[in-house]
Structure 1
Amino acid sequence: MKAKIIAFLKRILDWINNNRIKSAIVFLIFVGYYFCLPRTLFEQPYATVIESREGELLGAKIARDGQWRFPAQDSVPQKFKTCLVLFEDRHFYRHPGFNPVAMTKAVRENSAAGRVVRGGSTLTQQVVRLSRHNRSRTYFEKLIEVVLATRLELRHSKDEILGLYAAHAPFGGNVVGLEMASWRYFGVQSHQLSWAESATLAVLPNAPGLIFPGKNQARLREKRNRLLGKLYAQRIIDRTTFELSVAEPLPQKPFDLPQTAPHLLARVAKTREGHRVKTTIDLALQQRLNQLARYYYNQFKQNEVHNLAVLVIDNHNRDIIGYVGNAPTDADHQKDVDIITAPRSTGSILKPLLYAAMLDEGQLLPNTLVADVPTQISGYKPENFNLTFDGAVPAHRALARSLNIPSVLMLQDFGVPKFYETLQKFKLHDISKTPDHYGLSLILGGAESNLWDLCRTYAGLSSTVEYFNAHQARYRTGEFAELNYTDGFKTNFGKPSFDKTILGAGSIYLTYEAMKEVNRPEGDEAWKFYDSALQIAWKTGTSFGNRDAWAIGTNARYVVGVWVGNATGEGRPELTGVSSAAPVLFDAFRLLPRKKGVAAPLNDLEEVEVCAQSGYLAKPDCPTVKQLVPPKGKTTAVCPFHKTVHLDARRRYRVNADCQPVADMVTQSWFVLPPVMEWYYRSQHIEYVPLPPYRADCSGVGGAMDFIYPKAGTKIYLTKDFASKVQPVVLKVAHPNREQLLYWYVDGVYKGTTQTFHDLPIAPVSGFHVVTVVDQDGNEIRRRIEIVRE
């Protein structure tokens, strides 16, 4: 055998050497034949198509040339394939790309009739003709089609050729391809077509003009039924199927394409235009979220709030399983704007990140008392939403109640640049200006972010704790990975490490414990008392002027983010995170499988004794409770509010060595807040016991006092009432002894005396003034202010 092959090759070489010109011609013909078929057969643009993770159509965007042309599928449904081959090319699986017998018959019959009455093209030739934009049917063009058809047969399998035909055949109007035709005329995917529907679409490319509603119905039905008869005659379908098929109606009014996730479609089209993308969207969840968005939109628009967005994340893989980019509003209210990626004022939504960062750095414990008093810092005057003051509040309660003043004071202690750097690690891209630009307002909505980045951040935090608990106290270097909407994509979370990525698991867990205490929407206030309650940590936010309402929540598996407002930035009086965004958030969570909250990462928590009243690390003279804190929590400050005081035997008065023998003194630890904090704290805590006054016969003692209002450097504007009378400014001072007499001076001029309630109205001239207050024991405080009369 080997000798015969060698001899054959030798004869070929001899022929080439003896016929060099002929050999060159044959070689050129072979090369020309090999390269005659374009590498890319169809250059037309395709529609952008997105599908759910179940493979169901979510939406499509028309191709650039105005044609509804879907990208080719991997396979052609068997019913359509059977109908098409039987109708168009019965010998498709046996010919090399052209059928000489059919072509001969077509030429003879067309010549006899003097017009085209029969076509002899195979399906392969029709694919070539479609790729050549249906050029004029000349004999020369037919020859080119035959050559290209044989070359196409060598390059592709028969099923691949059918796939090319199914993707590019005309089906009437601007409908191109089987997939689009299936949706347009029958409202289903091609694999769901019945035999009658498949037969209808199989005959349609032969005469696409027959499909127009109300026209040519009889001709289209006759062509379809004749094909169904062939299917029955060849026993491809049984009699019952045949009878039911011919009884099916023809398509009438075209169906609209699904638009289940239009804003995600627009996002995909920016980077993958003309492709079919299988997304991670859960179809059932997406449909329910759309219903939810429509329900709340109909409510919100009564208050002239026209936009909302909902994003649902699977924490395990960062897959987006629900994406509602906007409410079903109208063009006048920016219905096409994708709010999920739009920068909006953050309101209070960043407060948990500051709280967690301070826990992680050991600058705070969950119950540490934080000041909540009138505050002015370099001209910046934060206020709580309800315009009240608690004096002092545990840090976790300040977070749960979203108190602004404690948050600003916490940020001041932590440092704006340091917190800014933390936010940069979370890749909150819209927070891009310098720390000085934001200042302390950074924690109250002075910066902008978007729902995408915020949900990604909270998903990373939740996953940090879950992975830590499941993998022997390890973290992952890429834990805060980007969100994903492409099905099958494997997110890279980096390598396991014993070093925390950004925040420790213990700090995140304690932050979530505080976030569970956020006051829930109406109807869910008693969630702690029933087992079926949603176990989620969540936070709301409301931007200045009621322009943005936020709510973001998480459990062990999911993160849900909600934004409500107007895309134009118009604020509305009743628009808040609690009243507007929170109900949407909880209803969205009810659509998800019930999951537990994040479990405690005990390997990143340590038990310490803290002061029961102040929340600081306990001193020996503090009443204590045990509490779990992050590792660095053991380095926080000890309680500064417990002081050792000396009392008389009846514990009614404080005494000192000038008025009481040391042996007769009673020594006691006393919880004492600074004067201004105490002044407000007492009104909220009836259990607070102020320090007893010094006994009258004790000398050399005084009490600490402080201004409640105004703060240092305050500029005060005096306004006029309706009678054009200048209204005074009311100065306030806190003194530990309410019965002390206080003497007030402005620029050294005596203005009055107060007792019990230390408030004094004054109306000085415009300019700078020094206010001096002296108590009856000689203690003195001063404050410089600026008065401006309008």
Structure 2
Amino acid sequence: MKLISYIKHHKLKSILIVSLLITYYFSLPKQLFKDPTATVITSNNNELLGAQIAKDGQWRFPQNDRVPEKFKTCIIQFEDEYFYKHPGFNPISIFKALRDNLKSNTIKRGGSTITQQVIRLSRKGQERTYFEKVIEIILATRLEFRASKNQILSYYSSNAPFGGNVVGLDAASWRYFNRNSSELSWAESATLAVLPNAPSLIYPGKNQERLIKKRNLLLKKLLENEVIDSLTYNLSIAESLPQKPYPLPQIAPHLLQKVSQLHSGKRIQTSIDNRLQNRVNYIVKTHYNQLSQNGIYNAAVLVLDVKTRKIMAYVGNTPTDKAHQKDVDVIDKPRSTGSILKPFLYTAMLDAGDILPHTLVADVPTQFGSYNPENYNKTYDGAVAASRALSRSLNVPSVRMLQEFGLDRFYHYLKALQLKNLKYNANHYGLSLILGGAESNLWDLCKSYAALSSTLNHFSETSSEYYSNEFCEPTFLASETVNFGKKTSDKTLFDAASIYLTYESLKEVNRPEGDESWEFFDGSKQIAWKTGTSFGFRDAWAIGTTKDYVVGVWVGNADGEGRPGLVGVQAAAPILFDVFDLLPKSNWFSKPFDEMQEVFICKKSGFRAYQNCDEVEEKFIQLSGLKTRPCPFHVLVHLDASESYQVNGSCETLSDIKHKSWFVLPPLMAYYYKAKNPFYKPLPKFRSDCLGDNTITMEFIYPEENNTIFLPKDFDEKPNDLILKIAHSKPDAALFWYLNETFIGSTKDIHELAIIPKEGKHLITVVDEFGNEAKRSITITK
């Protein structure tokens, strides 16, 4: 009641007091320091990985609320012994400072507390006058009301000047001592504690005696106050001063670039394993020294933890020079995929039930319009198991499989993988999509492989369930937890069995044919891995996965220059396995039995067995594979007693006819298959006294339809021959050859014919003795 009465009788005074209190309350800005700060990244255990200087050119780290005990003790002993007792200013210190300054007629001492110095640092640019000192005192008391003593100390340590363009304790400890502030010795902490009072003393080669004297006086004070013992004191004063600033660590410079774009001026704790990052850096540097001798200057490596989807190592480029674009982060740059997408097609076809793991697919010369894919080694197997076609990275079977599966259908799967660089429709890429016609980046590809591995892991760890958000983005933030979504009985994209069977194939070494000295694969580690090489030898890829980790490697030139030897298995795979050697050994994936069934498989063809298959074996296949067709390559044939000829009822008694299953490939497939499979037996001929015959087939081996052929000239300036080849189901049949309806020759047994046609378009016609016909249109250039 007395307060109300006082206010009524002293309205002006009351208004003035309230106004002063409001002014005092709001006198301090909410944010004391608005200076730009450096972008700082640390490892998963908070070790410094790198920093990018602040926009104003100062090494000023973001505010750090933790002040190391040694530095805290030193700064209080040196600057403000009564820090924990005063309300923001020390009247005795102010009185002594005022007395000494008036006597000397100059500002000889300041008398400011640490709290006042925080205010002065935040009000930079203000003249040091007595009026300004009053303002500092008022604001210092306000700060004491708002912040704890430890917070005030952190303000000071994070914003005090430490000489040159170094601001704050964290930046100073790295610039002058090359270590974290929490690891500083007593001598180093004392050195930094006296610097803000006279930051010019740190300049290398200057004022060393003055600086060491100030430091040692502080150390003496610590000894006298029994903060340190005599042994620590003697050891501390024997320590030398820093002679020059150290460069800040740049352990993950390209990740720092990425972080600075997203979190500029912040301190970010990443998921990077500092030890692993350093060792991967060394591996990349070692291989760069070798690769650069062949004019290959750039490479990138990404390591992911499958279970957490966190980035463990991030090497965006080699330690090359600016001329070769060392600052470019290749990990997120689009590059031609080469063969690295082939496992996705194989998985998709398994998932759709179009093939089984060992289904024979054609590997013969193939042309789709003007597109003429070739295998790396320029040879053909005729027929090859789909799994072997994948592990050996054969191009022709892959293109034929894509054509059979459907371009648009496969493109839909790739879009579901969220490959960001697929910017055009399927027809833009065409069938070359599977051989590098599209572009992707190391980040997205590693993300996709990790999602497949994680799908298998989750299926085994749960009651055979999937997660709805399996194909999520990886993270490099230590604080972020990836959300895999909800459990569901429905597959996210591929079923677990199809992924498992794909990985079983990728365990095989996919080396170039004829390279018998393969030395990089460690058989003790089970790794599903795939290489890729883009057209023109511009990009070399290698991506591998275990149950726990995915490692991705890209090697090439950032400017797109191709180089001989720039192939995945030679340039990227050695880096891949060197990195895997750093990682803990993982168990192999558990077999997803709930998505598989054991069935009889034809041993020779890889198709589901049926009655004509004479050699079968039991294999686990994906459930979708139950709808695949039975083996089309085994037929029941009727033979004479010696099994030398085919017979029928017109020439042999039924009791003497032997019935036998026979493995028969179409003529073109058989032509190449038997060259690499000497035990392949073509169907026996029909005995001459038998009536009737089997269906006769013949196919061109060379040339291909609508081919444009260049005939080189020899030393006599004469064009070389064009060798025409055809495969016939009855090799001993007589074939008659025509060029533009003009007869040019006949063949028997070996159906090859050499001709020298004129320039222009030609029609080749072949007729066998049974009246069957085959044709090819070609264009000759010389």
User: Shorter chain as normaliser: what TM range?
Assistant: over 0.9
Pairwise CA distance, 1:763: 3.0
Pairwise CA distance, 1:776: 2.3
Pairwise CA distance, 1:666: 2.2
Structure 1 partner of 2:183 = 192
Pairwise CA distance, 1:699: 4.0
Letter aligned with residue 273 of structure 1:
S
Kindly indicate whether the alpha-carbon contact (under 8 Å) linking 2:173 and 2:179 is maintained by their aligned counterparts in 1: yes
Structure 2 partner of 1:694 = 686
Map 1:318-717 → 2, pairs under 5 A: 318-519=309-510, 533-622=524-613, 623-701=615-693, 703-717=696-710
Structure 1 partner of 2:156 = 165
Pairwise CA distance, 1:523: 6.8
Kindly indicate whether the alpha-carbon contact (under 8 Å) linking 1:540 and 1:550 is maintained by their aligned counterparts in 2: yes
Structure 1 partner of 2:108 = 117
Structure 2 partner of 1:6 = none
Structure 2 partner of 1:146 = 137
User: Secondary structure of 1:206's match?
Assistant: coil
Pairwise CA distance, 1:569: 0.6
Structure 2 partner of 1:7 = none
Pairwise CA distance, 1:789: 2.6
Letter aligned with residue 737 of structure 2:
W
Deviation track 1:211-268 (CA, whole Å, cap 9, x = no partner) reads 0111111111111111111111111111111111111111112212111000001110
Q: Would you say 1:724 and 2:717 are equivalent positions? A: yes
Q: Would you say 1:764 and 2:757 are equivalent positions? A: yes
Deviation track 1:251-299 (CA, whole Å, cap 9, x = no partner) reads 1122121110000011100010100111111111111111101110001
Kindly indicate whether the alpha-carbon contact (under 8 Å) linking 1:765 and 1:787 is maintained by their aligned counterparts in 2: no
State the distance in 2 between where 1:617 and 1:422 align. Answer: 26
State the distance in 1 between where 2:490 and 2:671 align. Answer: 45
Kindly indicate whether the alpha-carbon contact (under 8 Å) linking 2:521 and 2:577 is maintained by their aligned counterparts in 1: no
Pairwise CA distance, 1:99: 1.4
Q: CA RMSD in A?
A: 1.5
Pairwise CA distance, 1:488: 2.2
Pairwise CA distance, 1:693: 1.1
State the distance in 2 between where 1:57 and 1:765 align. Answer: 72
Kindly indicate whether the alpha-carbon contact (under 8 Å) linking 2:650 and 2:691 is maintained by their aligned counterparts in 1: yes
Unpaired stretches in structure 1, ≥5 consecutive residues: 1-9
State the distance in 1 between where 2:376 and 2:44 align. Answer: 43
Kindly indicate whether the alpha-carbon contact (under 8 Å) linking 1:282 and 1:321 is maintained by their aligned counterparts in 2: yes
Letter aligned with residue 69 of structure 1:
R
Map 1:105-254 → 2, pairs under 5 A: 105-254=96-245
User: Secondary structure of 1:786's match?
Assistant: strand
Closer/same/farther in 2, CA of residues 522 and 692 from structure 1, 3 Å limit: closer
User: Secondary structure of 1:31's match?
Assistant: helix
Letter aligned with residue 394 of structure 2:
L
Closer/same/farther in 2, CA of residues 13 and 426 from structure 1, 3 Å limit: same
Closer/same/farther in 2, CA of residues 632 and 201 from structure 1, 3 Å limit: same
Pairwise CA distance, 1:75: 1.0
Unpaired stretches in structure 2, ≥5 consecutive residues: none
User: Secondary structure of 1:102's match?
Assistant: helix
Structure 2 partner of 1:788 = 780
> After the TM superposition, which parts of structure 1 deviate over 4 Å for at least 4 consecutive aligned residues?
520-528
Moved more, 758-767 or 467-476: 758-767
Closer/same/farther in 2, CA of residues 523 and 88 from structure 1, 3 Å limit: farther
Q: Would you say 1:73 and 2:64 are equivalent positions? A: yes
Kindly indicate whether the alpha-carbon contact (under 8 Å) linking 1:748 and 1:772 is maintained by their aligned counterparts in 2: yes
User: Secondary structure of 1:711's match?
Assistant: coil
User: Secondary structure of 2:726's match?
Assistant: strand
Pairwise CA distance, 1:149: 0.9
Map 1:297-308 → 2, pairs under 5 A: 297-308=288-299
Closer/same/farther in 2, CA of residues 283 and 414 from structure 1, 3 Å limit: same
Pairwise CA distance, 1:645: 1.7
Q: Would you say 1:91 and 2:109 are equivalent positions? A: no
State the distance in 2 between where 1:278 and 1:527 align. Answer: 35
- TM-score normalised by structure 1 residue count: 0.96
Structure 1 partner of 2:304 = 313
Q: Would you say 1:754 and 2:750 are equivalent positions? A: no
State the distance in 2 between where 1:699 and 1:230 align. Answer: 119
User: Secondary structure of 1:287's match?
Assistant: helix
Structure 1 partner of 2:736 = 743
Pairwise CA distance, 1:661: 4.1
Kindly indicate whether the alpha-carbon contact (under 8 Å) linking 2:732 and 2:749 is maintained by their aligned counterparts in 1: yes
Structure 2 partner of 1:3 = none
Kindly indicate whether the alpha-carbon contact (under 8 Å) linking 1:326 and 1:338 is maintained by their aligned counterparts in 2: yes
Structure 2 partner of 1:265 = 256
State the distance in 2 between where 1:495 and 1:217 align. Answer: 64
% identity of equivalent residues: 55
Letter aligned with residue 781 of structure 1:
A
State the distance in 2 between where 1:522 and 1:576 align. Answer: 16
Kindly indicate whether the alpha-carbon contact (under 8 Å) linking 1:766 and 1:786 is maintained by their aligned counterparts in 2: no
State the distance in 1 between where 2:770 and 2:470 align. Answer: 61
Pairwise CA distance, 1:764: 2.9
Pairwise CA distance, 1:456: 0.6
1:26 paired residue among 8, 17, 28: 17
Kindly indicate whether the alpha-carbon contact (under 8 Å) linking 1:519 and 1:525 is maintained by their aligned counterparts in 2: no
Moved more, 95-104 or 509-518: 95-104
State the distance in 1 between where 2:173 and 2:566 align. Answer: 44
Structure 2 partner of 1:4 = none
Q: Would you say 1:776 and 2:749 are equivalent positions? A: no
Kindly indicate whether the alpha-carbon contact (under 8 Å) linking 1:69 and 1:180 is maintained by their aligned counterparts in 2: yes
Pairwise CA distance, 1:736: 2.2
- TM-score normalised by structure 2 residue count: 0.97
Deviation track 1:364-415 (CA, whole Å, cap 9, x = no partner) reads 1011000000000121100000000000000000001000000000101111
State the distance in 2 between where 1:46 and 1:376 align. Answer: 60
Pairwise CA distance, 1:710: 2.2
Structure 1 partner of 2:28 = 37
Pairwise CA distance, 1:615: 0.6
Deviation track 1:605-628 (CA, whole Å, cap 9, x = no partner) reads 111111111111111111211111
Structure 2 partner of 1:277 = 268
Pairwise CA distance, 1:742: 1.1
Pairwise CA distance, 1:431: 1.4
Kindly indicate whether the alpha-carbon contact (under 8 Å) linking 1:181 and 1:201 is maintained by their aligned counterparts in 2: yes
State the distance in 1 between where 2:510 and 2:397 align. Answer: 18
Kindly indicate whether the alpha-carbon contact (under 8 Å) linking 2:520 and 2:574 is maintained by their aligned counterparts in 1: no
Letter aligned with residue 668 of structure 2:
V
State the distance in 1 between where 2:407 and 2:6 align. Answer: 87
Pairwise CA distance, 1:26: 1.8
Kindly indicate whether the alpha-carbon contact (under 8 Å) linking 1:45 and 1:65 is maintained by their aligned counterparts in 2: yes
State the distance in 1 between where 2:285 and 2:570 align. Answer: 17
Letter aligned with residue 616 of structure 2:
T
Deviation track 1:191-214 (CA, whole Å, cap 9, x = no partner) reads 111111111100000000000111
Letter aligned with residue 401 of structure 1:
R
Aligned residues: 777
